[in-house]
Amino acid sequence: MSEKPRVSLAVVKRLPKYYRYLGLIADKGIIRVSSQELSKITGLTASQIRQDLNHFGGFGQQGYGYNVEELKSEIEKIIGIDKSYKAIIVGMGNIGQAIYKYRGFNEASGFKIVGLFDKDKNTIGRTMSGIKVNDIKNINKFLQKEDVDIAVVAVPADSAQEVCDILVEGNVKGIWNFAPIDLKLPKDVVLENVHLDESLFTLTYYMNNLKDYPGTKN
């Protein structure tokens, strides 16, 4: 692994934003952009932007700014979306199905979904956009044959840890978890949670405590 400095979660969370805005700028045919211009678009300060990007090596040139395509492609590499990933979805309820159909999570975006799993007898065997839903009991065997990088966990909270233990055993390296539970995983398996309930409760909290609300910030 390379010798990059440790980067905080806040910086990591801003990278997709930079990537998104650079995509919009590139689509307009703009070739270079200054940190001041990026600041206007993103709402972040120019010095914040320069500082963030300096974590990964200085891309900009004093007085020239950033080459849009170059910076975009560098950020793509940093985020790791210049590669492709094999993924499975475990739990084909509403959330699992929505993620399966989500445009940001398909082969064109670098995520090849190679397996769908559920425990419901009525769902197992159904073909969804070309893939047959497999019995959740077969995950072990599936992972022995197929190298899976990412697993989406969209099962109920009470079975999510058990599912994850099987995924870890099967050498899955990243878990995108939608179950409302705090999973325990070994340090080398990356967990990213989407906790809808917590998000919704944050909304209601601030609606009821407007004075605490920090306002919309990018």
**Contacting its own copies within 63-122 (CB under 8 A):** 78-81, 83, 85, 94-95, 97-99, 101-102, 104-105, 111
Least distance from C-beta 64 to its own copies, angstroms?
Answer: 26
Number of residues near its own copies (by CB under 8 A): 71
Residues 143-172 binding its own copies (CB under 8 A) are: 149-150
In the chain, at which residue ranges do the beta strands (DSSP E only) sit? 32-33, 66-67, 85-90, 111-118, 127-128, 131-135, 150-153, 174-177, 190-193
Count the alpha carbons within 13 Å of 115 in the hemisphere toward its beta carbon: 28
- Residue 6 as a binder of its own copies (CB under 8 A): the answer is yes
Longest Cα pair distance anywhere in the chain, in angstroms? 63
In this structure, are residues 167 and 90 in contact, taking their beta carbons and an 8 Å threshold? yes
- Residue 218 as a binder of its own copies (CB under 8 A): the answer is yes
- Residue 131 as a binder of its own copies (CB under 8 A): the answer is no
Binding-site member from 129, 137, 147, 213 for its own copies (CB under 8 A): 213
Task: Point out which span in 30-38, 60-68, 122-130, 210-218 binds its own copies (CB under 8 A).
Answer: 210-218
- Residue 188 as a binder of its own copies (CB under 8 A): the answer is yes
In this structure, are residues 161 and 181 in contact, taking their beta carbons and an 8 Å threshold? yes
User: Please, which residue, 54 or 61, has the CB nearer to its own copies?
Assistant: 54
Question: In which residue are the tokens 């975006």 written?
Answer: 109
Nearest-angstrom CA–CA distance, 162 and 143? 15
